[in-house]
Amino acid sequence: MTRPSTLSSSLDLIGNTRLVLLRGPSEAAGCEIWGKCEFENPGASVKDRAALWIVRDAEARGELKPGGTIVEGTAGNTGIGIALVANALGYKSLIVMPDNQSKEKMDTLRALGAELVTVPPTKFADCNHFVHTSRRLAEEMDGAVWANQFDNVANRRAHLESTAPEIWEQLEGRIDGFTCAVGTGGTLAGTGMGLKEFDDKITIALTDPYGAALYNYYAHGELKAEGSSVAEGIGQGRITANLEGAPIDTQFRISDEEGLEWVARLLREEGLCLGLSSGINVAGAIALGEQLGKGSRIATILCDTGFRYLSSLYSAEWLEAKKLPVFDWLRSS
């Protein structure tokens, strides 16, 4: 892949992110750990890809008409991607978010001009869950489409058609494993499917946070959650349409403490300011590297920027309230 330095459309800024060799994780695993810099997307997260593919798909199906509204339920990052894509294409956006997500994401959505509705966090089975609320709002509104990122496979197609070929080309076809955590499953399933099309010997691994049910599903065939996590955007309790048929060979479960340790080390040792799902992904990539052995090459996703979590992950007060270890350099402030 040659990454063009001039582009004819702002939407072409989505994707074609760079892949960086992570020194500390590579040393820890005894192999090469590469991170896909998804914070380079215009909305600073991996979810810009899903947003663009979902909107283009709705246009192609004739569902989204000029001046229409894109409605979505999201932990925040997909909403930010949708708001930017909607602005670029002349649509409106209405975003429904659980009110326990980061303040920075809510402020960003309002700043981008999206209409924001927040709802209390609740179980998926509850009809007031943010996903169901967003579907209802879309149904009630003229000219609106529901993006439905969890069960709309245009989401995983984004990764099948963009993330996977980018990684394959960037590593010149020398890749042994790929892993990431699951929110909708679009990234893991789409990138996994795409990489397997290039070489079906590439090991695809799920990296699950605690509080999610997928580790037990892929390990033991039972959707069962244990523990909890404060990570935003990841942690799934069901097999979404995006996950159906995902080529998952193995699975790891990573605690918030392990993920936070890598968030801290990547910031202090490599100058990368990331969110917790990136730290969990890197810990999962190290586990996969240890399993695949010395000399192997593993890729994972650096999902979003840490600047989105200054009042949570990067706040001593917040970390203490969550009974999580406080980063050394935050202690005295």
3-state secondary structure of 209: strand
Is 41 near ligand PLP (CB under 6 A)? no
Positive or negative torsion for Cα 308, 314, 318, 320: positive
Going by C-alpha positions, the residue among 298, 288, 47, 257 that lies closest to residue 171 is 298
Are 70 and 82 in contact by the 8 Å Cβ rule? The answer is yes
131 forms part of the interface with ligand PLP (CB under 6 A): no
Tell me how crowded residue 332 is: count the other CB atoms within 10 A of its CB: 6
CB of 43 to ligand PLP, least distance (A): 10
Question: Which residue, 170 or 242, has its beta carbon nearer to ligand PLP?
Answer: 242
One residue of 131, 137, 144, 182 binding ligand PLP per CB under 6 A = 182
Confirm or reject binding of residue 49 to ligand PLP (CB under 6 A). Answer: no
Q: Specify whether 47 is catalytic.
A: yes
- Among 36, 47, 92, 196, the one annotated catalytic: 47
Longest CA pairwise span in the chain (Å): 57
Residue written as tokens 């993330």? 163
Query: Amino acid identity, residue 320?
Result: E
Among 15, 25, 68, 183, binds ligand PLP (CB under 6 A): 183
Tell me how far, at minimum, the Cβ of 78 lies from ligand PLP, in Å: 5
CB 193 within 8 A of CB 164: yes
Indicate the residue type of 76: G
Query: What's the CA gap between 32 and 23, in Å, rounded?
Result: 8
The residue within the footprint of ligand PLP, chosen from 36, 47, 253, 265 (CB under 6 A), is 47
Q: Helix (H, G, I), strand (E, B), or coil: what is residue 21?
A: strand
Q: In the complex with ligand PLP, which residue's Cβ is closer, 207 or 296?
A: 207
Task: Based on the shown chain and the rule CB under 6 A, indicate whether residue 75 belongs to the binding site for ligand PLP.
Answer: yes
Q: How far is the CB of 76 from ligand PLP (least distance, A)?
A: 7
CB of 308 to ligand PLP, least distance (A): 8
Q: Which is nearer to ligand PLP, 70 or 181 (CB)?
A: 181
Residue with the closest Cβ to ligand PLP? 233
CA distance 184 to 12: 23
CB-wise, 74 or 296, nearer to ligand PLP? 74
Task: Please give the Cα distance from 184 to 181 (Å, whole number).
Answer: 9
Rule CB under 6 A: say whether 303 interacts with ligand PLP. Answer: yes
- Is 233 one of the binding residues for ligand PLP (CB under 6 A)? yes
Element (H, E) at 301: strand 297-302
Closest CA to 63 of 172, 166, 171, 147: 147
Question: To the nearest whole angstrom, how small is the minimum distance from the Cβ of residue 20 to ligand PLP?
Answer: 17
Provide long-range contacts, Cβ within 8 A and 24+ apart, for 124-131. 124/237, 124/238, 129/73, 130/73, 130/74, 130/96, 130/97, 130/98, 131/73
Residue 78 touches ligand PLP, criterion: CB under 6 A: yes
Choose between 155 and 170: whose C-beta lies nearer to ligand PLP: 155
- Residue closer to ligand PLP, measured from CB, 186 or 259: 186
Closer by beta carbon to ligand PLP, 182 or else 298:
182
Applying CB under 6 A, among 69, 102, 108, 184 the residue interacting with ligand PLP is: 184
Residues in contact with ligand PLP by the rule CB under 6 A: 45-47, 75, 77-78, 181-187, 232-234, 275, 277, 303-304
Catalytic residue IDs: 47
